[in-house]
Structure 1
Amino acid sequence: MVMAEIIDRYKALGVQLWADDGQLRFRAPAGVLNEQRVAELRSYKEALIKHLQEPEQSTVQADPFNRYMPFPLTDIQAAYLIGRKDDYALGGVGCHGYVELSMPVMDKARLEKAWHLLINRHDMLRAVVFAQGYQQVRSEITLPSLPMQDVRGANPVQVQAAIQQVREELSNRQYIPDQWPLYELFLTTIDDTSILHVSIDMLIADFVSINIILAELNHFYHQPERPLPKLDITYRDLLLYQQARQKQPAVKARKERDRQYWLARIDQMPEAPALPLADRQVDMQKAAFERHPFWLEQNKWTALCRQAGKKKITPASAVLGAFAEVIGLWSGQPDFCINITILNRPDLHPQINRIIGDFTEVNVLQVSPAAGSTYAERIQALQQRLWLDMEHRSFSGIEVLRELRRRRNKSVIIPVVYTSTIGAGTVVPKEGELMRNARLTYGITQTPQVWIDCQVSEQAGELHLNWDVRRGIFPEGMIEEAFTFFKHLLAEMVADEQVWRNQTPLTPPASAGQRYAAEFYKENCL
């Protein structure tokens, strides 16, 4: 058994392993380390300690000679590339991220120089992606200028119009994958503030990568005289190593085990939630997304974590359970699947968390509540299902979807997505930590073949949530009502212990359909 595989698998469950003074130490969410998992860790204890004490002996090898040669896409990159085409349902849009950061006035020339240093440092900021299924880092580029608008002295209406114009253009940008660059920066300066607009195609970067970009841009702007540590490996090196490792006997055996786990379930797996749609032809419209934000203050989030912990539910599972509950309310049936985004950066090299690239995976999570179950019991069951799935994730969610399509002889998409960094070892920095004295004032993501993307993170001890929703999909007012119910449910999970013990945690609005009146909620009886 490859020790990195074991560590990677437990990391996905939220378990942190390390060696200390010859002992194997761990930190784990309540309920994760059952007897079977403890027994497994004990059986590999000595090998794990040895591996953890010698991380520098990674077998990932830098290959500078072939640095600019083409290399394959990951499963998720390939899915993003195909899904963005106009001839696919709910396509016509790339996987794209856009943020605005407000900060003290920045010097354009200095910021442009910092941006150029960053582009030269990271290979994937010089990469393009080809429809034939490969990507390539360009060996020669012409560094882009930093466009800017200076609206100092303008009235508030003019300022907002100027900001909105850039926002409309960059937040809906459709990049051509094989044309560099796959990102843009724009600087707006008003009287005492600069706004940095950042647009990027997520084919070349994941959530962690955006944090790296902003943190290192800040470093090169404020401390250009202090070079960052040289990067010893590239995204290409890591990806090719991961693909080569698939040929190892132990890894192949695990992949086959995981494949059998999914194949045994796949014929009984439901598909997407049957949410009401406003227009069946909506995929023919121009794609645009809108954001619905919410946060829980630190004291309330701490209280929610405490409530969940009493029931051996992790904070991440508590929020996931609330989201699944709301989606189920508006769904035409209680059983459905949602996609769980996994931010997967396995411990293959000490610098892996400094590398820009897309390390994203997905898990197809089945939501099948048991009849007569309480709200807490449904969340516990969903948590156990996710943990079990994560132990079998070498057969990826993209492969699961391919098999669903093959067996059912039709297109199968799961357009409801849940993305959480809670407990994933990825901390969202506090306000001002990525760029000095900066605050996030606007953000939006868009993804092909997605209706709703629920994004959850911890920031400065608070719980921050967004629903990024594709416009025109749902009946007018439905998302607003569902999101309001979601916020109310989370608040009641903090304030009222009884909510967890009820079968029906809150009385749903009339538009939520008939789920709560359905037979599903009847008590089991003779």
Structure 2
Amino acid sequence: MTSAERRAALIEKLAGLPPERRAALLRSLVGAPRDPGGQEWPLSPGQERLWFLSRFDPGDTSYNTPWCMRLRGPLDVDALTAAFTRIVERHEVLRTRFRLRGDAPVQVVLPPGPVPLEKIALSGEADLDRELKEFVERPFDLENEPPLRAGLAEPGTDDAVVCIVLHHIVMDGWSLDVLLRELTECYAAGREGREPELPELPTQYPRFAVQERQRDHTQGLEHWTRRLAGAPTLDLPADHPRPDRWSGRGGREPLLLPPEEITPLEKVARKRRCTSFMALVAAYQATLSLASGQTDFCVGVPVAGRPRSELAPLIGYFGNTMVLRADLSGDPSFHELLDRVREATLAGMRHADVPFEHVLAALRVPRDISRPPLCQAMFNLHNLPKDDLLGTRMADLDREVYTVPPSHTKSEVSMDLWRGPEGLGGVFDYSSDLFAPATARRLLGGFAEVVRRAGADPDVPLSALSGTFASVPEVKGA
């Protein structure tokens, strides 16, 4: 084994160790750094795993989460800078550093201070995507630098692109909506010379982390170990040899199914007392089964992790992963598969608060540094608040989302969907180390065909779809 392979193996092993074993191992590492002069708190279970991954692979940018927006009109840079400063002052997690104290990491909340708006220099419009990508993919030094940075590119007069990058250790999908809502209000208030109208925060993320570490998840862990014991790895046929180490390099393909293609499946779900989420998960599981030939594998589903209303206005890493084990044994009809998905989803939701990190530790899944643990496939149907995230105005400026082409994925395949008046939209992320773009488009085509066939005839056995699946065209997306 080469030195690089040994280092990669160490990263994965450390990330999967139970807390007490990690603590023992860390006693032999370097001592605590200088006194930061801030208040110290423990990390939440989810934060702790991300901290280990970051600590032992500082150059990894898989968990950098960007959001970019294009602003058209006369931008007030001072007001925008002040808005970022006000938000970081409000949310302790955004002025946190992550450091080692004795045997364990802690989050150190520093006093408020100004937040710089970095200038992203351009030599022309063609430069924009490249410069934004470099800004997004710059690694975070979580020990000494803020977990948030904001950059400003100005391709032309009254034309600006603001790029916000946060490390996943301090945010989730819900947090982005909170951030954009507060940024819009603080910027407008600065332009109008008034105080921003923001609700008082009932608590702060570090207090939530303390409460999370005190919770007893014994019953939930018993459920997950019973349900997930012995779950096999999902092995989709790949176009390229699997690298020795998972890199996270990825690609993306878009999807759009018009209303007439998704509505019949939604009606099937309602008649079966199922949600649209359950029906789409079942269609995704069927697609993966037909592509892989497997009837048993796991699909990870993000959950919001905000069970109390007091957590709704906070920025922080509350999200969790719920694991749904697919059961396609016995060549079920789509109706039968839907019933199985419904049962697994309802049972899982009763224990969805158990941290994914605890589930991994309890299962003692053998570590394989060439792939993500337990869930090689992810699925998400978005129902998070996003009105502020997708708003079209920011004070006197026109605003639109500016998409930076993704270059990383956290799983081998991942489907993110949303339902709107235009139909079912979404994106399909995939590991570019394993799959070619054409293969990703065929998988999307297979998913679309399953959705159509299941909506038209939910009693058809899944084996009847195999021939059709093999010949479906590539989906070109929206």
- The answer to whether the Cα contact below 8 Å between 2:68 and 2:403 also exists between their aligned partners in 1 is yes
How many angstroms apart in 2 are the aligned matches of 1:477 and 1:510? 13
Percent identity, aligned pairs only, is: 18
1:391 paired with 2:373, answer no
Summarize deviations over 1:476-509 as a string: whole Å, max 9, x none.
Answer: 632222123223433555xx52256443346444
How many angstroms apart in 1 are the aligned matches of 2:427 and 2:376? 16
Distance 1:430 1:465, change over 3 A: farther
Summarize deviations over 1:62-91 as a string: whole Å, max 9, x none.
Answer: xxxxx9422222222222233456779xx9
Task: Tell me the equivalent position of 2:294.
Answer: 333
1:164 paired with 2:121, answer no
Local SS of the residue matching 2:332: coil
Summarize deviations over 1:2-25 as a string: whole Å, max 9, x none.
Answer: xxxxxxxxxxxxxxxxxxxxxxxx
- The answer to whether the Cα contact below 8 Å between 2:414 and 2:430 also exists between their aligned partners in 1 is yes
Equivalent in 281, 286, 293 of residue 243 of structure 2: 281
Equivalent in 37, 45, 68 of residue 100 of structure 1: 68
Task: Tell me the equivalent position of 2:266.
Answer: 305
- The answer to whether the Cα contact below 8 Å between 2:96 and 2:146 also exists between their aligned partners in 1 is yes
Deviation at residue 358 of structure 1 after TM alignment: 0.4
Equivalent in 184, 196, 212 of residue 149 of structure 2: 184
Distance 1:506 1:274, change over 3 A: closer
What TM-score do you get using the length of structure 2 for normalisation?
0.77
1:212 paired with 2:208, answer no
Deviation at residue 301 of structure 1 after TM alignment: 5.0
Question: What residue identity is the alignment partner of 1:417?
Answer: M
Deviation at residue 209 of structure 1 after TM alignment: 0.6
Question: What residue identity is the alignment partner of 2:134?
Answer: E
- The answer to whether the Cα contact below 8 Å between 2:174 and 2:385 also exists between their aligned partners in 1 is no
1:428 paired with 2:386, answer yes
Summarize deviations over 1:197-229 as a string: whole Å, max 9, x none.
Answer: 222211101111111111111111112314222
Distance 1:211 1:491, change over 3 A: farther
Task: Tell me the equivalent position of 2:94.
Answer: 125
Question: What residue identity is the alignment partner of 2:132?
Answer: R
How many angstroms apart in 1 are the aligned matches of 2:368 and 2:271? 44
- The answer to whether the Cα contact below 8 Å between 2:236 and 2:291 also exists between their aligned partners in 1 is yes
Alignment of 1:244-393 (within 5 A): 244=214, 246=215, 252=216, 255-267=217-229, 269-277=230-238, 278-281=240-243, 283=245, 287-297=248-258, 304-347=265-308, 350-393=309-352
Summarize deviations over 1:219-258 as a string: whole Å, max 9, x none.
Answer: 11112314222323211122223434x2xxxxx4xx3333
Distance 1:241 1:368, change over 3 A: same
How many angstroms apart in 1 are the aligned matches of 2:407 and 2:285? 21
Local SS of the residue matching 2:94: helix
Summarize deviations over 1:414-448 as a string: whole Å, max 9, x none.
Answer: 232223333xxx33327853753433231566778
Deviation at residue 284 of structure 1 after TM alignment: 6.7
- The answer to whether the Cα contact below 8 Å between 1:430 and 1:460 also exists between their aligned partners in 2 is no
- The answer to whether the Cα contact below 8 Å between 1:276 and 1:330 also exists between their aligned partners in 2 is yes
- The answer to whether the Cα contact below 8 Å between 2:409 and 2:431 also exists between their aligned partners in 1 is no
Summarize deviations over 1:278-299 as a string: whole Å, max 9, x none.
Answer: 22326376x4332222234566
- The answer to whether the Cα contact below 8 Å between 1:81 and 1:94 also exists between their aligned partners in 2 is no
Show structure 2 runs of 5+ residues with no match. 1-36, 473-478
Alignment of 1:197-236 (within 5 A): 197-224=163-190, 225-227=194-196, 228-236=198-206
Question: What residue identity is the alignment partner of 1:275?
Answer: L
Distance 1:358 1:373, change over 3 A: same
Show structure 1 runs of 5+ residues with no match. 1-66, 152-157, 247-251, 513-526
Local SS of the residue matching 1:117: helix
Equivalent in 160, 169, 194 of residue 160 of structure 2: 194
Distance 1:508 1:396, change over 3 A: farther
How many angstroms apart in 2 are the aligned matches of 1:430 and 1:121? 18
Number of aligned residue pairs: give it: 419
Question: What residue identity is the alignment partner of 2:152?
Answer: L
- The answer to whether the Cα contact below 8 Å between 1:430 and 1:459 also exists between their aligned partners in 2 is no
> Please, what is the CA RMSD of the aligned residues?
3.2
- The answer to whether the Cα contact below 8 Å between 1:375 and 1:505 also exists between their aligned partners in 2 is no
Question: What residue identity is the alignment partner of 1:457?
Answer: W
Distance 1:164 1:298, change over 3 A: same
Alignment of 1:24-173 (within 5 A): 68-84=38-54, 92-105=60-73, 106-130=75-99, 132-139=104-111, 141-149=113-121, 158-159=124-125, 161-173=126-138
Question: What residue identity is the alignment partner of 1:187?
Answer: L
Distance 1:136 1:300, change over 3 A: farther
Distance 1:134 1:328, change over 3 A: farther
1:416 paired with 2:386, answer no
Deviation at residue 96 of structure 1 after TM alignment: 2.2
Question: What residue identity is the alignment partner of 1:124?
Answer: V
Local SS of the residue matching 1:275: coil
Distance 1:232 1:323, change over 3 A: same
